[in-house]
Amino acid sequence: MTALNIVPFVSVDNMMRLVHAVGIEAMLVRLAAAVAEDFSRWEAFHKTPRIAAHSSDGVIELMPTSDGQTYGFKYVNGHPKNAAGGRQTVTAFGVLADVGNGYPVLITEMTLLTALRTAATSALAARALARPGSRTMALIGNGAQAEFQALAFRALLGVDVLRLYDIDPAATAKCLRNLASLGFDLTACGSTEEAVRGADIVTTVTADKRNAVILSDNLVGEGMHINAVGGDCPGKTELAPEVLARAALFVEYEPQTRIECEIQQLAPDHPVTELWRVLAGLAPGRHDARQVTVFDSVGFAIEDFSALRTVRDLLAEHPYYEELDLLADPDDPRDLFGMLLRAAPPRLVA
């Protein structure tokens, strides 16, 4: 694209077209590969905990990072009460920019893209941490993220047996309906206890903004891998502290996770391992088949960077975007005011 004023913009409509052109599970695999690639060069990135503005209603956050050549950020909110008013709990958009000149090279919706990259990262972590051959997963919380998690775990690990539970039966019914024709062995359960029975992997992805015990210690059996997704801000947790105390804990970016995730319940020096170290072969993952592992997931800006660059690359093959006239481009870069004057409407002649 040669016009300096134009930035590619991927709307929700075009994001859906793009995902279907690639294939949902193929998109999840591609996103997981991009996250793994960027985690393998972790030290190349500028890293900071996300910048959050909390209120009694929810949180609005900015998630920036850069690898020195490309800059990316995501705007995202989390408002658990939104669903009651017909709004999404989480919405997002993102920007990718050229560090060399500061010009944006992509603007895209990231509500769908965040759901996809969250699920892809979860499955990527589980592939490194769960017992080999894990096929049965309990999904506790059957809201907007649940189906994405299910498809990612099948695409990356072969998980095809799902046990579903939500305190809202309508959410479970929605999840069953959406997954019914996609080849899973599905069971709707009446409690968390029933859902986790026989599960190799447990994914907790609830939305309530409070300290909760979704998974108590007596429900966690030997060898289980827990994918804890829902605890994502101060004061919001899903796992009992006793579960964390006896598990091997893996996180994305420790300074952020200490504030926002399950380990906010533990002492500041409780040992954890950043996932990138496992993926890079610098730290062990699971030690044996009896060990309990927890991926204490909160989402990190490098994952969004990976998702943004994946979309940028896919647009060359699948041009589902609009040309957004975003940047001023005067003939003389120093004459911005002159550009404005030349755009004045002609005066009416009496």
Nearest residue to 139 via CA among 130, 147, 131 = 147
CA distance 154 to 184: 9
- Determine the Cα–Cα distance for residues 153 and 136; give it in Å rounded to an integer: 10
Pick the catalytic residue from 38, 200, 232, 304: 232
- The token duo for 27 is 């998109």
Annotated catalytic, 232?
yes
Task: Decide the pairing of beta strands 273-274 and 248-251.
Answer: parallel
Per DSSP, what are the bridge partners of residue 226? 202, 294
DSSP 187-253: EE-SSHHHHHTT-SEEEE-----SEEEEE-GGG--TT-EEEE-S--BTTBEEE-HHHHHHSEEEES-
Cα dihedral 63, 226, 36, 314 in deg (nearest 10): -70
Residues with catalytic roles: 232
